[in-house]
Amino acid sequence: MFKKILIANRGEIACRVIKTARRMGILTVAVYSDADRDALHVEMADEAVHIGPAAASESYLVAEKIIAACKATGAEAVHPGYGFLSERASFCAELEKQGIVFIGPKPKAIMAMGDKIESKKFANAAGVSTVPGHLGVIEDAAHAEVIAGGIGYPVMIKASAGGGGKGMRIAWNEAEVRDGFERASSEAKSSFGDDRVFIEKFIVEPRHIEIQVLADAHGNVVYLGERECSIQRRNQKVAEEAPSPFLDEKTRKAMGDQSVALAKAVDYQSAGTVEFIVDRDRNFYFLEMNTRLQVEHPVTELVTGIDLVEQMIRVAAGEPLALAQEEIRLDGWAIESRLYAEDPYRNFLPSIGRLTRYRPPAEGRTGNLVVRNDTGVFEGAEISMYYDPMIAKLCTWAPTRLEAIEAMGRALDGFVVDGIEHNVPFLSALMKHPRWREGRLSTGFIAEEYPDGFAPMKPDRTEEATLAAIALSASLIETNRRERFADRLRAASGTLREHWVVKTGDSHVAVRLIDGLVTIPFDMEMAIEGENSSVVTDWRPGDPVWSGTVGGRNITAQIRPVLNGLRIDWQGLSVTAKVLSPRHAELDRLMPVKLPPDTSKLLLCPMPGLVVSIAVAEGQEVKAGETLAIVEAMKMENVLRADRDLVVSKINAAAGESLAVDAVIMEFA
Ligand code: ADP
Ligand code: ADP
Ligand code: MG
């Protein structure tokens, strides 16, 4: 076994690999860029080597620097994680030449599977079912039209070198094929430096289901069941699960057998994933093979009990697989939520900055539930604009799917992230969504269920009652402490008001305290809008997480002080609550509603970022949908478009300028 390995990656995946290496008694070397001097993976590793500036193209993507770091530290092998150099055959070949082991497949397999056209041909030859389509390069738009007509609409136009959901277009008719061809090939050219595209049938109501395979250098290949990753936004995965609620034993076995056949056909070794698209009749078609560890691998680990990174390291060291297919059992259900630094209320625009508070829920097993959180950040860390906006991967495991979903909902409710915007409200709302809970999924789920984007949800009457109970209990506990701070816990109840009104959002909820005694921990009978309910919590002032029971139901919510009240975040709801006396509530109703300032004549910068270009000039008339400016943050160019016909009156920013969130880029007449 290796004595020392280097991890050629950053963030959560670097930390995740280090954990397993340490458990196996292997020393670890981290590499880091200027932006990652204080990163968690650097702290966790036994040694760390600085490899250059923040831009990945000058650090994490430079093979020579990684190889030099191996030589300097005596690392015998390299784990590439995902992204970066993980699927670059030339890197893998160069390591081999230098006598350093690549913890992954051989260059030949990476090459065969790296190109979508080539891999589809390979899959066909290995007897794997592929999406019906044309197995060759499309010459031009006219050729695209002919091919699409032959396949039958709708079709998908794809970049052969594509990845990460880029260079892909759906077309429902001839005009869309022509346009889609142009756009897919130019996107492919700019993203991958390779403009070859091909066309295949677009599978309607598709589900993304993938098979995890594991192979050694001695010809043994097994599959570790499937993961379903149908919850996607713009062809990028957001939440995943294992197993899939859609597969039966027969389909699972057929997909597993075909994946093993493909792995054998390319002499695969290490962990890999064969991705399929599955139609509503459970016909499945090969999409691509990812020749690396997958982001969502933890859900497979949770249902199989197998550590995939350990297996990758053992295979790379030449050990034969210790597992036979019959020994692999799928037990229970696991869900993964990807926490991203992005603002769900602003069309998921990236958000960067310092994590002023970062407190993930406790990991580990409690009874029949498991919580796992893979992360690369810590409280006080900076989410920079240079890399992936992923903060953490939160996973839960339980015996059944619904229990795992419930556990995920609670874990998200208790996940405290302050300082940046994040998608926890969206993920929480997803866990409550009836269609998700029923497992009626397709890759179009998010687009279909949230056609106008994600808006803050409105609480119903029952939820308002719960929010009122949380707000009132917190307020009573705080007042009690303020008044009796030096005393012993138990407060006299003599002066406590009996009738209260809790304003949650725009609604007023009447609450009567039945036994007006504030104890710590808090335990009180209340009549909320006439319904009796006991409210129990051990919440203490200053704690951002309120957990307890309302009417016997377990609740975890987050509360933060805001002007004259509290903001409560719970299950995707975000509500400002004010605790008032009935008299104050009456006065409050008479207060004029303060309208937010009118920003309709301004183009505001939606996130902190760099102005790439300003597309218009002062005095210019612009039509709805036209580009106004492009702002870059987190490796992504965000095109800011006119939401209606406008005339530009003043421009306040120029290309190359760094802007804060809400900075005024331009003004309209
Ligand atoms: P997964 O199925 O593991 O989520 P993805 O295709 O989403 O796989 O990619 C995982 C990571 O690799 C992401 O960070 C993604 O941005 C990156 N990635 C994948 N393919 C490419 C590519 N061809 N070029 C650049 N980045 C890529
Ligand atoms: P990438 O390399 O970018 O991950 P994939 O080929 O794996 O590209 O496709 C990414 C996603 O696009 C899939 O998960 C699926 O949602 C969608 N997709 C790809 N091909 C098809 C198809 N033929 N029909 C329907 N959806 C597709
Ligand atoms: Mg894919």
Q: pLDDT by residue (tens digit) across 218-268?
A: 999 999 999 999 999 988 899 999 999 999 999 999 999 999 999 999 999
548 vs 542: CA distance, rounded Å = 16
Token pair belonging to 96: 């081999």
Nearest to 153 by CA among 186, 120, 180: 180
CA atoms within 13 A on the CB side of 598: 4
Q: Determine the pLDDT at residue 484.
A: 64
Ligand 3 centroid distance, CA of 208 (Å): 9
Residues paired with residue 577 on neighbouring β-strands, in sequence order:
504, 566
The pLDDT of 50-78, averaged and rounded, is 97
Q: pLDDT by residue (tens digit) across 29-50?
A: 999 999 999 999 999 999 999 9
Ligand 3 centroid distance, CA of 390 (Å): 18
Q: Determine the pLDDT at residue 215.
A: 98
- Comparison of pLDDT for 619 and 631, the residue scoring more: 619
Dihedrals φ, ψ of 431, to 5°?
-60, -25
Q: Determine the pLDDT at residue 492.
A: 46
Q: Among the listed ranges 168-177, 415-424, 493-502, which one has the minimum average pLDDT value? A: 493-502
Is-contact 152 162, C-beta < 8 A? no
Q: Is the CB of 228 under 6 A from ligand 2?
A: no
Contacts of 547 (CB under 8 A, 6+ apart): 414, 537, 538, 539, 554, 555, 556, 557
Contacts of 467 (CB under 8 A, 6+ apart): 459, 502, 504, 509, 557, 568, 570, 573, 575, 577
The pLDDT of 166-189, averaged and rounded, is 91
Q: pLDDT by residue (tens digit) across 307-361?
A: 999 999 999 999 999 999 999 999 999 999 999 999 999 888 888 899 999 999 9
Q: What confidence category does residue 489 fall into, taking pLDDT thresholds of 50, 70 and 90?
A: very low
Pocket test for ligand 1, best of 91, 113, 295 (most atoms within 8 A of CB): 295
The pLDDT of 607-627, averaged and rounded, is 90
Q: Is the CB of 441 under 6 A from ligand 2?
A: no
Ligand 2 centroid distance, CA of 558 (Å): 37
Per the annotation, the verdict on 118 as an active-site residue is no
Q: What confidence category does residue 155 fall into, taking pLDDT thresholds of 50, 70 and 90?
A: very high
Q: What confidence category does residue 192 fall into, taking pLDDT thresholds of 50, 70 and 90?
A: confident
Q: Determine the pLDDT at residue 620.
A: 95
Q: Among the listed ranges 207-211, 314-318, 654-658, which one has the minimum average pLDDT value? A: 654-658
Token pair belonging to 388: 């992936």
Q: Determine the pLDDT at residue 493.
A: 44
Ligand 3 centroid distance, CA of 229 (Å): 10
Burial class (CB in 10 A: 0-12, 13-18, 19+), 343: buried
Name the closest ligand to CA 235. 2
The pLDDT of 22-28, averaged and rounded, is 98
Confidence check: pLDDT of 165 > 80: no
Q: DSSP labels for 311-372?
A: HHHHHHTTPPPS--GGG----SEEEEEEEESEEGGGTTEE--EE-SEEEPPPPEEETTEEEE
Dihedrals φ, ψ of 641, to 5°?
-110, 160
Contacts of 520 (CB under 8 A, 6+ apart): 477, 480, 489, 490, 538, 540
The pLDDT of 271-299, averaged and rounded, is 97
Angle between helices 174-192 and 141-151 (to 10 degrees): 120
Of all residues in the chain, the percent with pLDDT exceeding 70 is 98
Q: Is the CB of 294 under 6 A from ligand 1?
A: yes
Place of tokens 């092998």: 77
Q: Determine the pLDDT at residue 594.
A: 72
The pLDDT of 542-555, averaged and rounded, is 95
69 vs 74: CA distance, rounded Å = 8
Q: Sign of torsion, CA 606 612 615 616?
A: positive
Q: Is the CB of 296 under 6 A from ligand 2?
A: no
Q: Determine the pLDDT at residue 271.
A: 98
Q: Where are the domains of the chain?
A: 4-103, 104-131+205-331, 132-201, 332-436, 461-588, 602-668
Q: Which CATH superfamily is domain 132-201 in?
A: ATP-grasp fold, A domain (3.30.1490.20)
In terms of DSSP H, where are the helices of 141-173? 141-151
Q: Is the CB of 82 under 6 A from ligand 1?
A: yes
Q: Among the listed ranges 95-99, 131-135, 631-635, 659-663, which one has the minimum average pLDDT value? A: 631-635
Ligand 1 centroid distance, CA of 294 (Å): 9
Which residue owns the Cα nearest ligand 2 atom 17? Answer: 235
**What is this structure's pTM?**
0.88
Q: What is the mean pLDDT of the chain?
A: 93
Q: Determine the pLDDT at residue 416.
A: 97
Q: Is the CB of 237 under 6 A from ligand 1?
A: yes
472 vs 502: CA distance, rounded Å = 7
Which residue owns the Cα nearest ligand 2 atom 19? Answer: 287
Angle, vertex CA 589, rays to CA 587 and CA 595, nearest 5: 120
Pocket test for ligand 1, best of 12, 13, 60, 82 (most atoms within 8 A of CB): 82
Q: Is the CB of 164 under 6 A from ligand 2?
A: yes
Q: Is the CB of 241 under 6 A from ligand 1?
A: no
Q: Is the CB of 10 under 6 A from ligand 1?
A: no
- Comparison of pLDDT for 344 and 491, the residue scoring more: 344
233 vs 69: CA distance, rounded Å = 37
Is-contact 536 522, C-beta < 8 A? yes
Token pair belonging to 150: 């032959």
Q: What's the CATH code, domain 602-668?
A: 2.40.50.100
Is-contact 650 629, C-beta < 8 A? no
528 vs 525: CA distance, rounded Å = 10
Estimate to the nearest angstrom the gap between the alpha carbon of 364 and the chain centroid.
Answer: 21
The pLDDT of 469-494, averaged and rounded, is 72
Contacts of 103 (CB under 8 A, 6+ apart): 5, 77, 78, 79, 80, 270, 312, 313, 316
443 vs 238: CA distance, rounded Å = 11
Is-contact 474 566, C-beta < 8 A? yes
Number of Cβ within a 10 Å radius of residue 304:
20
Q: Sign of torsion, CA 470 471 477 478?
A: positive
Ligand 2 centroid distance, CA of 275 (Å): 9
Atom of ligand 1 nearest to the CA of 292: 3
Nearest to 212 by CA among 142, 157, 259: 259
Atom of ligand 1 nearest to the CA of 273: 2
The pLDDT of 151-155, averaged and rounded, is 95
Residues paired with residue 133 on neighbouring β-strands, in sequence order:
200
CA dihedral defined by 653, 655, 659, 663, rounded to 10 degrees? 30
Q: What's the CATH code, domain 4-103?
A: 3.40.50.20
Q: Determine the pLDDT at residue 347.
A: 85
Asked if the domains 132-201 and 461-588 are classified in one and the same CATH topology, the answer is no
- What class does CATH assign to 461-588? alpha beta
Question: Per CATH, is 332-436 categorized as 3.30.1450.10?
Answer: no
277 vs 308: CA distance, rounded Å = 23
Question: Per CATH, is 104-131+205-331 categorized as 3.30.470.20?
Answer: yes
Q: What confidence category does residue 449 fall into, taking pLDDT thresholds of 50, 70 and 90?
A: very high
Angle, vertex CA 566, rays to CA 560 and CA 568, nearest 5: 70
HEC states along 100-113? Answer: CEECCCCHHHHHHH
The pLDDT of 461-487, averaged and rounded, is 86
Atom of ligand 2 nearest to the CA of 166: 3
Q: What confidence category does residue 141 fall into, taking pLDDT thresholds of 50, 70 and 90?
A: very high
- Comparison of pLDDT for 657 and 331, the residue scoring more: 331
For the chain, how far is it from start to end, CA to CA, in angstroms?
Answer: 70
Q: Determine the pLDDT at residue 634.
A: 67
Candidate list 240, 241, 288, 336, residue with the active-site label: 288
Confidence check: pLDDT of 596 > 60: yes
Q: Is the CB of 443 under 6 A from ligand 2?
A: yes
Nearest to 490 by CA among 503, 502, 481, 500: 481
